[in-house]
Homo-oligomer: A and B are copies of this chain.
Amino acid sequence: MAQTTAERILEAAEIRVRQAGYNGFSFRDLAEDVGIKSASVHHHFATKEALVARMATDYTDRFIAALEEAPPGPPRVARVKDLFRQSVLDDGKMCLCGMLGAEGIGLPPSVTRETKRFFEALVAALAESMGTWGTNRRTAALRLVAQLEGAVLLARAHMDPTVFDEVVDGP
């Protein structure tokens, strides 16, 4: 088995959260996705909260690592746009933490904490790479992230991936 069961659960859960949100899937859904019983999902992740918090942690680490493969400066900015674009092209999924950020209040604290960490890490990893037109770099990075999250959201609402490109580097 190239992938452990826990990894397959996390993968299935990520897809479901990014499509339907924290309250949009059940352990039974995941069990069916992976081909085991829901009780077995609990063997790997005791609670839904634990599962999603872990998912957000992994997502953040993976995302930041992918960003930092690109050298600072314009290439890194291009890379982050591309990561978000992939999100949209891949079945119109939201950014995981965009989705969790939207649901926000009402999610378990460990999840909101990880969500916040994602955005802080993302802004930090981008700030040094931003050109500045009179605004400080942190603000410029925050603005870019807002635009990207908004672009993903609009593309989903329109059910049209080209909306993303129109927003991000349109005419």
Chain A residues within 8 Å of B, Cβ to Cβ:
19-21, 23-24, 92, 94, 97-106, 112, 115-116, 118-119, 134-136, 139, 142-143, 145-151, 153-154, 156-159, 163, 166-167, 170-171
Checking B100, B119, B157 against A158 with a beta-carbon cut-off of 8 angstroms, the contacting residue is B119
Assembly stoichiometry (copies): 2
Chain B residue numbers with a CB within 8 Å of A115 are 157
* Cα–Cα distance between A98 and B148 once the two chains are bound (Å): 14
Chain B residue numbers with a CB within 8 Å of A170 are 135, 139, 142-143
Chain B residue numbers with a CB within 8 Å of A119 are 154, 157-158
Whether A167 lies near B154 (C-beta < 8 A) is: no
* Cα–Cα distance between A170 and B135 once the two chains are bound (Å): 8
Chain B residue numbers with a CB within 8 Å of A148 are 150
Whether A112 lies near B159 (C-beta < 8 A) is: yes
Whether A166 lies near B153 (C-beta < 8 A) is: no
Between A and B, 27 residue pairs with Cβ closer than 8 Å are A21-B21, A21-B23, A23-B24, A24-B103, A24-B106, A98-B153, A99-B102, A101-B153, A102-B103, A102-B153, A104-B156, A116-B158, A116-B159, A118-B157, A119-B158, A135-B170, A139-B170, A139-B171, A142-B163, A143-B147, A145-B154, A146-B147, A146-B150, A148-B150, A149-B150, A150-B150, A150-B153
